[in-house]
Amino acid sequence: MTRVTDADTRALRASSAATPKARGPRESMLSRGVAMLIMVIFTLYFLIPIWWLLVASSKDRGDLFTTNPLWFADFNLWNNIVALLNYDGGVYVRWIVNSIGYAGVGALVATVLAGMCGYALAKYRFRGREVLFNVVLGGVLVPATALALPLFLLFSQVQLTNTFWAVFLPSIVSPFGVYLARVFAEASVPDELLEASRLDGAGEIRTFFTVSIRLMLPALITIFLFQFVGIWNNFFLPLIMLRSEELFPVTYGLYAWNSTINQFPELRTFVLVGALLSIVPLIITFLLLQRYWRTGLGAGALK
């Protein structure tokens, strides 16, 4: 499954690297040429695996090993997709829906929580504020993988393993999101504006949801994107928590198939086509949110 995850991240990096906007002072032709060359090489480096995946997905099993790996043979993509969607009672569709549920809803909740938390840390003075912030910041350093096993033992105790919640609950916390939200709230939500809305009679919660959240939108979109991609690619947690096929996210389902390819070779095509389809939602999310995201980074940098 590392291949899929790599392809995912490559897709993201590639699409951001592929649209540079050169402005500012003129450079010499040479340095410009060298820079272009390096960028072209890296673009190819990131795009070729996806190209390969697309080509491989369009071949039937016989052609896969016998024809040029980087060019099309008989075009069977649609047949392959139909076969994939029908295999094992359409379980793949279920996995995609699950992934969208875990990653979409999870990232949304995580964004709201991180936004509120960061905002509170930035805009309210209370005892233990810095300690709390440092503890949260410490959470950034702990890799999700290291937490998976303790989480499994905890969830076992409350009999929540092998449920939707086992993957969803750990996904809705984002220490990095809190950090980002705090930095951004400090920079972009003026205290004067909050005072003004208080004077106008708005409560703290209303102020947050009607005024502050708009000012923080670029940061929130960034947090959402990070968290969405993070949950989508989080593979170890479902591996440890889930047993029932109907709860799998797509990454884990494909991994399970892939691990039995030696004995069930017909799954190879499904893994390839499934991997190709599984990056589509990521690309769509990214393209839809990209412009918010870029203005967000820019706004942060200018302040």
Partner 1 sequence: MRHMKKAAGVAILATVALTMAACSSSGDSGGGSDAAACAPSEGDVTLTFTSWIPGIEDAVAIWNDANPDIQVEVQTGPSGNAGTYQNFFNQLEAGNAPDLGQIEYDAIPNFRVQDGLEDLAACEDVVAAEDQFLDWTWGQVSLGTEDEVYGIPQDQGPMALFYRSDLFEQNNIPVPTTWEEYKSAAEQIRALGGYITNFSQSDINQFAGFVWQADGQWFQNDGNEWTVELTSDASETVADYWQDLIENDLVAVYPPWTDEWNNAYNSGEVWTWNSAVWGANSIASGAPDTAGKWSVAPAPQWAAGDAAAGNWGGSSIAVFKGTDHLYEAAKFALWLNTSEEALTSLNETAAIYPATKAGLELPVLQEGVEFYGGQKIYDVFAEAAGQVNPDFVWGPTMTQTYADVSDGFKAAIAGDGTLADALADGQEKTIAALEAQSIPVAK
Binding residues for partner 1, rule: CB under 8 A, are: 61-62, 64-66, 69, 88, 109, 113, 149, 152-162, 165, 169, 172-173, 239-240, 242-245, 255-268
Least distance between partner 1 and beta carbon 56 (Å): 9
State which residue, 111 or 285, has the beta carbon closest to partner 1.
111
CB 258, min distance to partner 1, A: 8
Check: CB of residue 123 under 8 Å from CB of residue 194. Answer: yes
**Residue 260 Cβ vs partner 1, minimum distance, rounded to whole Å:** 5
Vertex 46: Cα angle to 239 and 5 (nearest 5): 5
CA distance to 113, 136, 188, per residue, from 130 (Å): 18, 10, 20
Q: Least separation, in Å, of the C-beta of 166 and partner 1?
A: 10
CB atoms within 10 A of CB 113: 17
Q: Which CB atom, from 184 or from 248, has the smaller least distance to partner 1?
A: 248
Tokens for 135, please give them: 């503890």
Give the amino acid at 150.
Answer: P
Burial class (CB in 10 A: 0-12, 13-18, 19+), 189: buried
Comparing CB distances to partner 1, the nearer of 188 and 269 is 269
Output 173 or 213, the one with its CB closest to partner 1.
Answer: 173
CA-based nearest residue to 210, from 224, 197, 200? 197
Nearer to partner 1, 6 or 27 (CB): 6
Contacts of 276 (CB under 8 A, 6+ apart): 53, 54, 57
| Least CB distance to partner 1 at residue 73 (A) | 13
